[in-house]
Chains A and B, each alone.
Chain A
C-alpha cells in the first residue's frame, strides 16, 4: 500500500478583517497534521493569522461547461448596480 495521503486545500486569512483566501494545497493523513503542514508550508513569511484546511475531495465546483448558463444571465441586470440610477446633483445622502 503506498497511496498518497489525502489532498487538502489551504485557505489563509492574511490579516484581521479579510476573508480566507485559497493559497494552495498539501498532502496530510488527517486534519490536525494538515493544519501543521499548511502552517509550515504557507505561513513561513508572515502570510497569515488564520488557516482553514478542507479535504479537496469535499470541494464542490461548478462545471465550466455550464459557465454560460450560470454567469452570463447576470450581465444585463445592470439595475442591480447603484450607478444605473440618475440622481440630480443637489441631492445628497443617497
Chain B
C-alpha cells in the first residue's frame, strides 16, 4: 500500500478556508443558475404564450387546411415551452416543475416579450405577429444551437427546424395578404402597424442578456438584427408593402411589465390549477 503524503498543519488551514462547513459538493455558481433560469424562462414564456394564442384559432380558422397549419405551429410552440420551462425549473432548483411555472406564476413573473401576447385580431394580424416573431426566433435559435448550456443547445437544435417552417409559412401569408385584394392589403397594413412597436423589445439588451452573452449562453442580439431587418424588408417588398414608420418602442415584458392582454390570457390558461390547487390532472 503506497504511503500517503504527510498532511501538514498549513494544508489543513487552507482546506478549512476553501470548504467552510465541510461541504464536499462542487461550488455552485449561483449567478450562473440565476441567469440560466431567467433565460430559459424568457424562451419558454415566449413559446408558451404564442402557442396559447395560436391555439385560440383552433376550430375557427379561415379554412380547414389553415386550421391544421395553425395547430401545428401551436403544438411546436407548446413543445418548446415544455422543454425550456423544464430547464428553467431545474436551474431554479426549488422543486418546481414546468407545469408549476406555466400555471402557477402570476403576471409579474412572466418574462415573455410583448409581441407574443398581442391578441390574434384577424388572420392578417396573427400572421403579422407570427412572421415578425418567427423571423426573430429562427435567428435566435440558430445562435442558441451553440449555447454553452447543452440542454438549451439541444432544444434549440430541434426547434430551429420548427421555427424555420413557421417563418416561411408566415412569410408566404404576409405576401399573399399584402398583395391579394384591397381588403387583405389594408388588413395586413393594420396588422403590421399593430405589431411594429414591439419589435425593439426583441433586441433589447438588458443585464440578463449581457450576462448571458458573456457566459456564451446567447448569441449577440445586435448581430441577429441585421439579418432580421433584411428579411423583414425583403418579405414586405415582395408583399408590395412599405414598412410602417418606426414607432416608439414599448418595452417591459422581460421585466414582467406586460400589456393588459396577458392578465386575461393567464386568467383563462391557469384557471383550473389555481381553482383546484391540490388536484392532479
Contacts and interface: CB of A to CB of B under 8 A. Distances in A.
A40 B68 contact: yes
Interface string B160-175: 0000000001001000
Size category of the A interface is 10 to 19
B65 interface: yes
Interface string A20-40: 000000111100110011001
B72 A44 contact: yes
Given A36-B69, A41-B68, 7 more contacts: A26-B65, A27-B64, A36-B172, A37-B65, A37-B66, A37-B68, A44-B68
Given A40-B72, A44-B72, A28 B65 contact: yes
A29 B65 contact: no
Nearest to B67: A40
A40 B172 contact: no
Dominant SS among interface residues on chain B: helix
A27 B63 contact: yes
Nearest to A28: B65
Contact of A32 (B65, B72, B172): B172
A33 B281 CA distance: 38
17 contacts: A26-B65, A27-B63, A27-B65, A28-B65, A32-B172, A33-B172, A33-B176, A36-B69, A36-B169, A37-B65, A37-B66, A37-B68, A37-B69, A40-B68, A40-B69, A41-B65, A44-B72
Contacts of A5: 63
B68 A29 contact: no
Interface in B212-233: none
Interface hub of B63, B65, B66, B68 (most chain A Cβ within 10 A): B65
B72 A29 contact: no
B7 to A, nearest CB: 61
A59 B72 CA distance: 29
Interface of A: 5, 26-29, 32-33, 36-37, 40-41, 44
A26 B66 CA distance: 11
Contacts of A27: 63-65
Nearest to B75: A44
Contacts of B72: 40, 44
Contacts of A29: 176
Contacts of B176: 29, 33
Interface string B65-83: 1101100100000000000
B169 to A, nearest CB: 6
A33 B64 CA distance: 13
Nearest to B169: A36
Contacts of A36: 69, 169, 172
Interface string B162-197: 000000010010001000000000000000000000
Interface in B46-92: 63-66, 68-69, 72
B73 to A, nearest CB: 9
A44 B69 CA distance: 10
Nearest to B69: A40
A36 B65 CA distance: 9
Q: Which of A27, A32, A40, A41 has the most chain B CB atoms closer than 10 A to its own CB?
A: A40
